[in-house]
Amino acid sequence: MSAEMNEPIEDVEAFRLRARAWIGENMGPPQRGDLVRYYPDDAEELAAVTRDRGLQRRLYDGGFAGICFPRAYGGLGLTPAHQRAFNEELAGREFPSRLTVPTFTPCAAVLLDFGTEEQKLRHIPAILRGDEIWCQLLSEPGGGSDVAGATTSAVQDGDHWVINGSKVWTSGAWWGDYALCLARTNWHVSKHQGLTVFIVKLHQPGLEIGRIERLDGSTESCQEFLTDVRVPDSDRVGDVNEGWVVGTRWMFHERVGHNSPLVTMAAGAFRGGSGEPYVVRIAREGGQLDDPRTRDLIGEARTLDLVGRHLLRRLALGVPSGKLSEHSPAVGRLFGGIAAVRQSTIAFEIAGGAAGTWAEDDGATADVGMRFLMRQAACMGGGTTEISRNVIAERMLGMPREPSMDRNVAFRDVPRGPRQTATTEA
């Protein structure tokens, strides 16, 4: 038994009181734009990223970084209950939002699950210090949500791998440091059997990063073009051609997202950024708190929020313990996507005409209209809700699989191009 396991664990309430005192002295209120991904110029966005790195370093120096990470890699080795307590005490305070997802989960989580000891010692402490921000080189331009259909290739050349291909919809790649990359290493077996995961340094020769402007004006999402990018075999994560084993766990961590016990974030931050629910602030500023219809809508939004948080918390604890299927996070992903669309719609309905046109100084209603226009993204990012429906139906309920032309076929023989019917198997 390790020394870490033998050491007594601090009582949760004692930890909460200690965290409360430290947070009160060291973490101020959120600054405008802490949870925003759109900036009028790159310099402002880079400044926000630098600020987040500094906040993470503050947590590290204060002894509150990596609460559930093993002590061997710079964490505290505490329990999910300790992390929840810290997040609750952090409510209404600043925190390094750009390092939550995907840096801490799924990326750091995957390293903990599958990384070598050298990889963990090299990268986990750097992540906890805020020195490294990680991304996911996962989706591809022609692949949709069919992650296993990756065509980005990795060919071994001595003690290195040479990677060629393209990835897309990578959040924060232009200011990130490293990424997990899923690549095809064997074209002679079925698509799930010929994949391998690598650690890729984002800014290096042969890797070109382009920016994608979305409807809301943000350019955080990127597309990467990899041309003869060389990666040492020491940066391979998991066994060769066993990338789908890594990928399955990777998808679990991604679907759990901000509810992972590895993530430090202010409770309620992504539901409006303050102790008062987002829809309540909209109603209050619009003078509608006493309107019965508005109160019903607020109650619906609150119910969705409560169910979502407790569902994801149960999944985050149940899957690692073996009490729930490894496919169970698909339930949380499906609920989260549908609930997010409905909550954006509720906010729009409460705001009424004020959501149709807005200015930056319009308070809580300033971004209601744009959130409504972007609402469907909640059902696409991180794997579509349609994929989740398939996973639930086929792998949890035992229903017949959808027909697929590429099952048990060597990937080199699978037709690819505009006439291809994409599989819906995640």
pLDDT mean by block of 10 residues, the chain; 426 residues: 64 98 96 65 91 97 98 97 96 93 97 98 98 96 85 98 97 96 97 96 97 87 97 98 94 86 86 66 92 96 92 84 88 94 95 83 83 90 87 93 83 72 36
pLDDT the model gives residue 230: 98
Question: In this structure, how many other beta carbons lie within 10 angstroms of the beta carbon of residue 341?
Answer: 17
In order of their start, the domains of the chain are: 276-396 (1.20.140.10)
pLDDT the model gives residue 36: 59
* Distance separating alpha carbons of residues 111 and 129, to the nearest angstrom: 16
Nearest-Å Rg of the Cα atoms of the chain is 22
Question: In this structure, how many other beta carbons lie within 10 angstroms of the beta carbon of residue 408?
Answer: 10
Question: Which two three-digit tokens encode residue 242?
Answer: 């066993």
CA 362, 363, 369 angle in degrees (round to 5)?
65
Taking the CA atoms of 160, 164, 165 and 168 in sequence, report the sign of the dihedral they define: positive
pLDDT the model gives residue 420: 43
| Amino acid in position 108 | A
Contacts by residues 398-401 (CB-CB < 8 Å, ≥ 24 positions apart): 401/425
pLDDT the model gives residue 32: 62
pLDDT the model gives residue 405: 78
